[in-house]
């Protein structure tokens, strides 16, 4: 999608601090980190919100989760603990409408989330 910020990051049209990429997904550091480690994992294909996913996307969602797990290991936060967050729509805090999995770690987190 021409006007989508994360499509631009995925295509390389906009620079970001990429920590991992493959044919299906890209992971890069959040520009406004909410924890010492804050990485966003996105599909290369544009999907606006989680509500737009279908059964055919099960493998893609699974890969994004497994990539997050591996990055957590590589960042050294796997054993202490980390949080994965999908925000869906504005009521949950979604501000960029290309789905992204937040990987947060390097500090302790409260529950319930704010």
Which residues of the shown chain bind ligand 5GP in the complex (CB under 6 A)? 5, 16, 28-32, 40, 87, 93-96
Closest C-alpha among 90, 89, 92, 75 to residue 41: 75
Task: Provide the terminal-to-terminal Cα distance of the chain, rounded to the nearest Å.
Answer: 31
Nearer to Zn ion, 4 or 85 (CB): 4
Pairing of strands 25-29, 37-43: antiparallel
Alpha-carbon distance of 55 to 40, in angstroms, equals 23
Does the footprint of Zn ion cover residue 50 (CB under 5 A)?
Answer: no
Interface stretch with Zn ion, choices 18-26, 54-62, 71-79, 98-106 (CB under 5 A)? 98-106
38 is annotated as an active-site residue: no
Interface stretch with Zn ion, choices 21-29, 39-47, 66-74, 103-111 (CB under 5 A)? 39-47
């Amino acid at each position: 999608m021409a006007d989508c910020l994360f499509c631009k990051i995925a295509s390389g049209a906009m620079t970001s601090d990429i920590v991992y990429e493959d044919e299906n997904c890209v992971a890069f550091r959040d520009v406004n980190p909410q924890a010492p480690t804050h990485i966003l994992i996105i599909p290369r294909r544009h999907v606006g919100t989680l509500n737009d996913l279908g059964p055919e996307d099960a493998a893609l969602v699974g890969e994004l989760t497994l990539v997050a797990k591996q990055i957590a290991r590589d960042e050294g936060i796997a054993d202490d603990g980390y949080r994965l967050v999908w925000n869906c729509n504005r009521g949950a805090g979604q501000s960029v409408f290309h789905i992204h999995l937040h990987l947060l770690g390097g500090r302790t987190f409260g529950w319930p989330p704010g």
